[in-house]
Amino acid sequence: MSEVALTLAERRERQIAHQDARATHLASREALLSPRRSNEELRAIAEAAQQRLADTDTDTVLAWVGQEFGYRTAVACSMADAVLPAVVARHVPWVDTLFLETGYHFAETIGTRDAVEASMRLTIVDVKPRLSVAEQDAEFGERLYERDPTLCCAMRKVEPLHETLQGYEVWITGVRRDEGPTRADTPFISWDDKNGLVKINPLAAWTFDDLLAYAADHDIIVNPLVNDGYPSIGCATCTRRVAPGEDPRAGRWAGLDKTECGLHS
């Protein structure tokens, strides 16, 4: 039965059951966590898997992730869509899904985040910077994203994510090779020396059309901005619509000599 067809009481009952299931999982999560292995051990695991799984597919990689890392797994999700955490949750139900709460998001992105948390078998973790927007404005001046976007991204994305990732052994991202020249050689598996853990890009070989088709076929939430000219969605202050035929990431930091926030470089 579709969500639209449900009565208010039925929707409320489903929501309560969903919340109870999440709470039950979280209550037992500690028993499912193995001690975090050393960086040396994790690097060796990544390097061996790079060769063994280089030519495999998304499901095979994620099945290995579930077996090898369990709940020391984190998924990074920008909430442009929920395809990535959905495919991961098939192998690691209630997986921690990290959302970088920069304070500059589109309202549609926050709405997508809330809808995902309310309906999917995921555990949303809001990753917040040390300073609120108001505190950053007071210390560094307003509109830092225009004057020094690299510093702004470092404080609001890179540093808080790095700190959060220290409790995990692997992080999973939605980086795809078709997103632009800087991502064309993205591997399925690598060692992330900057953050000190294994990095998995299970959708690396997918195209944007593959992503949308999967979302449609499996009724997965997609940010409404995706269908409004935003194939890549970041902070509202630094993202514009993309014209037909443009690079999918052309709307990010448009007019600036900047193509990445620093999370993947």
Locate tokens 């999918």: which residue? 248
Element (H, E) at 198: strand 197-200
Domain ranges of the chain: 37-227
Q: What is the CATH number of domain 37-227?
A: 3.40.50.620
Q: Which two tokens mark 239? A: 């993202």
Catalytic residues: 261
User: What is the tens place of the pLDDT at every residue in 85-134?
Assistant: 999 999 999 999 999 999 999 999 999 999 999 999 999 999 999 999 99
Task: Report helix, strand and coil shares of the chain as percent, to nearest 5.
Answer: 50, 10, 40
Is the full-model pTM beyond 0.85? yes
Per-residue pLDDT tens digits for 31-87: 889 899 999 999 999 999 998 998 889 999 999 999 999 999 999 999 999 999 999
Do residues 265 and 158 lie in contact, with contact meaning Cβ atoms separated by under 8 Å? no
